[in-house]
Structure 1
Amino acid sequence: MTRLSTHVLAALAVAAGLASVSPAARADQPAPVSKGGETATSDKNPTGTNLAVATAAQVAEISPANVAGLLNYCVETEQVSHEDGDAVQTALNAKTNAVPTDHAGNMDYAIGTAGQFLVGGKASTLTGLDQPAQGKLCTVVLARSRSLI
């Protein structure tokens, strides 16, 4: 099975995400606001991209290749054990062609391996969550992965 480093894929996903939005468009967007009314900062989001924090309900809406990438992220960050995740990931990658044999790459998979996903054209991330919350979301990702194979 081909497993790509989360650091390499995170860099690719962030670069692709930043490249897809023009600087003028980013300047026009208001800063995210938390419940308390303060402006959200990148302190909780190590990617520094102000992505929305992921929710379990969103996992049902993402592409199968993105789910495969998220499962890779969850295994690499030890939120899902290799014992539980590897066979599921191998089967899901084969079914969705998430990791093409021609090494052409799959951007949905790459984004997922960075702990990010797209729902309705908006990016969300697991990386802004604490470890217990990431673990809960990764359990949802594993269940969705199993349902797709």
Structure 2
Amino acid sequence: MIRVSPRALAAFAITAGIASASLPALADDMLPQPVPSPEGRPSAAGITPATGAEIASVTPATLAGLLNFCVEANFVSHDDGDSVQTALNAKTNAVPSDQNGSMDYAIGTAGQMVVSGKTSTIAPLDPATQTRICSTVLARSKSMI
């Protein structure tokens, strides 16, 4: 039989009470909850669903990142996208060899883009819309190489 000291039990109760009292304070530090997009899908606060027209205005490094997103999410086949992405990365230095990275490429790889100070994303869109936008990304990428 295990015996527990009353002091240890009291210390545990006090510790548990203090820990649970701080939970509401931590709730204030949480990230904002997603808000519905115009299509009714959740979107992170401040990030709007992307449109195909925005693809014409993204930086070359963001375009390379978006192409990576589209290939990895299977909206563009590896057969169609890999060689284009390799050539685009080489031409635009989207993935620099000095290991410093490119923030524009990283943003694009997350399926996001920043156009005129507004952040948009293709991630929460329905698959048909994502496929259409990714086709636009592939076409623009091909035109740049």
Q: What CA distance in whole angstroms lies between the structure 2 residues aligned with 1:137 and 1:33?
A: 17
Aligned to 1:106: 102
- Structure whose CA Rg is larger: 2
Q: Does the 8 Å contact 2:62/2:105 carry over to 1?
A: yes
> What is the aligned-residue RMSD (CA, Å)?
2.0
Higher relative contact order (CA 8 A, sep 6+): 1
Query: Paired residue for 2:88?
Result: 92
> Where do 5+ consecutive residues of structure 1 fail to align?
1-26
Identity level (%): 55
Aligned length: 112
Q: CA deviation at 1:128?
A: 1.8
**Match 2:120 to one of 107, 113, 124:** 124
**Structure 1 segments of 4 or more deviating over 2 A?**
31-35
Cα deviation digits, residues 52-74 of structure 1 (max 9, x gap): 11001110000000000000000
* Contact 2:46 2:119 survives alignment (8 Å): no
1:44 is aligned, of 42, 45, 67, to 42
Structure-2 residue corresponding to 1:4: none
Structure 1: distance between partners of 2:46 and 2:111: 14
Instruction: Report the counterpart of residue 140 of structure 1 in structure 2.
Output: 136
**Are the aligned partners of 1:32 and 1:50 in contact in 2 as well (CA < 8 Å)?**
no
Unaligned runs of 5+ in 2: 1-31
